[in-house]
Amino acid sequence: MTLKQALGCARGILAGNNIEDALLECELLLRHALKISRTRLYLDLDHELSPKQEEAFWRLVERRLNDEPTAYITGHREFYGLDFYVDPRALIPRPESELLVETALGLAQNHPLFTIAEIGTGCGAIAISLALSLPETKIYATDISAAALEVALVNCQKHGVIDRVHLLQGDMLDPVPEPVDLIIANLPYVKQSELAPMSPARFEPLLALDGGSNGTERIRQLCRQVDSKLPPGGFLLLEIGQGQRRAVTAFLHTIFPHGEIEVVPDLSGIDRVISLSPIASKHELANAQPSQL
């Protein structure tokens, strides 16, 4: 069997099992089995697979048919044009989360961001992407999972930012040692009722997916803490799930009634990122003089 034949056969099998982007997935699996680049793959399409190579490839295809994510099979995931190591200790970064990075970099063009705290960093993709684009910025990257931080450490070392991305274990903002100019977070926002035991998500850490009964419990938890670590002129960026815009913005308005809130849609038109500039907090307003309001 040639590489071309293997790709075509595997593509048909994956597509027949409702796996999206079947050709891309097959490419990734075959390249991983053969340890070759995409360029080499397409230069060698007429090359015959050895029996050992063929067996290794079909073992990977079988794992994919059992819903194991390709990123975990290969140990790699591209995010914001960068290659990240991933394994089941941390959530696989999603393309829609690149909007968080883009929005943060947009803010940095007009507002100095000397310090950033990324909450729930997982494999470190967001924090590292920001560190590489903002070389003068100190970044704290927190996660409640020590195992996830082990993955993030591998990626910090891989991308040479270990001196600027400070990995901290703890819940939400608790381990962040100082106020920061930007708090950025892609927290769990999947409803518990949507976490079916046999869904593909079962391979990923539940802690990184479970957003509680309504999907926004962890987001609300962070919002309650923001006031302690965000100075005047600071920003909060949150990734949210489909249909969560109204609930999250309403909750933010109760905490920051005079804050400026913007919602940014992703490429599919889904409201994905909420940006908050907290002009004054509820606590500050309560203690302000009438002439200051």
* pLDDT tens per residue across span 189-214: 988 888 866 566 678 888 888 888 88
Residue 281 — very low, low, confident or very high, per pLDDT cuts 50/70/90? very low
Q: 94 and 50, same structural domain?
A: no
212 part of a folded domain: yes
Q: pTM score > 0.75 for this model? A: yes
> Can you give the three-state secondary structure of the chain, one letter per residue?
CEHHHHHHHHHHHHHHCCCCCHHHHHHHHHHHHHCCCHHHHHHCCCCECCHHHHHHHHHHHHHHHCCCCHHHHHCEEEECCEEEECCCCCCCCCHHHHHHHHHHHHHHCCCCCCEEEEECCCCCHHHHHHHHHCCCCEEEEEECCHHHHHHHHHHHHHCCCCCCEEEEECCCCCCCCCCCCEEEECCCCECHHHCCCCCHHHHCCHHHCECCCCCCHHHHHHHHHHHHHCCCCCEEEEECCCCCHHHHHHHHHHHCCCCEEEEEECCCCCEEEEEEECCCCHHHHHCCCHHHC
Q: 215 and 99, same structural domain?
A: yes
Query: Can you give the pLDDT at residue 293?
Result: 32
Strand 138-143 and strand 115-119: the pairing is parallel
Whether pLDDT at 284 is above 70: no
User: Cα-flanking dihedrals φ and ψ of residue 148, to 5°?
Assistant: -65, -40
264 part of a folded domain: yes
Q: For residues 180 and 160, give the distance between their C-alpha atoms in angstroms, rounded to a whole number.
A: 22
Q: What is the mean pLDDT of the chain?
A: 91
Of 140, 184, 148, give the one whose Cα is nearest residue 166.
140
Which of residues 292 and 109 earns the better pLDDT score? 109
Q: Is 173 in contact with 225 (CB distance < 8 Å)?
A: yes
Mean pLDDT across 4-15: 95
Mean pLDDT across 224-230: 91
Q: 102 and 210, same structural domain?
A: yes
Q: What does the block give as tokens for 164?
A: 């600027």
Candidate from 99-113, 193-207, 227-241 with smallest mean pLDDT: 193-207
Mean pLDDT across 64-68: 94
Residue 184 — very low, low, confident or very high, per pLDDT cuts 50/70/90? very high
Query: Can you give the pLDDT at residue 292?
Result: 34
Please name the amino acid found at residue 290: P
Percent of all residues in the chain with a pLDDT value above 70, rounded to a whole number: 93
Whether pLDDT at 8 is above 50: yes
Q: 97 and 58, same structural domain?
A: no
Q: 214 and 147, same structural domain?
A: yes
Q: 27 and 132, same structural domain?
A: no
78 part of a folded domain: no
Mean pLDDT across 4-27: 94
Q: What is the pLDDT of residues 32-61, one digit of tens each?
A: 999 999 999 999 999 999 999 999 999 999
Q: 173 and 49, same structural domain?
A: no
Domains in the chain, number: 2
155 part of a folded domain: yes
Query: Can you give the pLDDT at residue 212?
Result: 87
At 203, which CATH number? 3.40.50.150
Q: Which residue has the tokens 């992407």?
A: 129
Residue 6 — very low, low, confident or very high, per pLDDT cuts 50/70/90? very high
Please state, in angstroms and as integers, the Cα–Cα distance from residue 96 to each residue in 72, 99, 108, 114, following that order.
19, 6, 20, 25
Whether pLDDT at 258 is above 70: yes
Q: Is 44 in contact with 6 (CB distance < 8 Å)?
A: no
Whether pLDDT at 180 is above 90: yes
Q: Is 205 in contact with 89 (CB distance < 8 Å)?
A: yes
Q: 51 and 113, same structural domain?
A: no
Whether pLDDT at 9 is above 90: yes
82 part of a folded domain: no
Domain that holds residue 8: 3-66
27 part of a folded domain: yes
Q: What is the pLDDT of residues 135-172, one digit of tens each?
A: 999 999 999 999 999 999 999 999 999 999 999 999 99
81 part of a folded domain: no
Q: 248 and 119, same structural domain?
A: yes
Query: Can you give the pLDDT at residue 192?
Result: 82
At 44, which CATH number? 1.10.8
Please state, in angstroms and as integers, the Cα–Cα distance from residue 18 to each residue in 11, 22, 203, 211, 236, following that order.
11, 9, 18, 27, 38
Q: 98 and 51, same structural domain?
A: no
Query: Can you give the pLDDT at residue 78?
Result: 96
246 part of a folded domain: yes
Query: Can you give the pLDDT at residue 147?
Result: 97
Q: 48 and 186, same structural domain?
A: no
Q: 166 and 134, same structural domain?
A: yes
Whether pLDDT at 291 is above 50: no
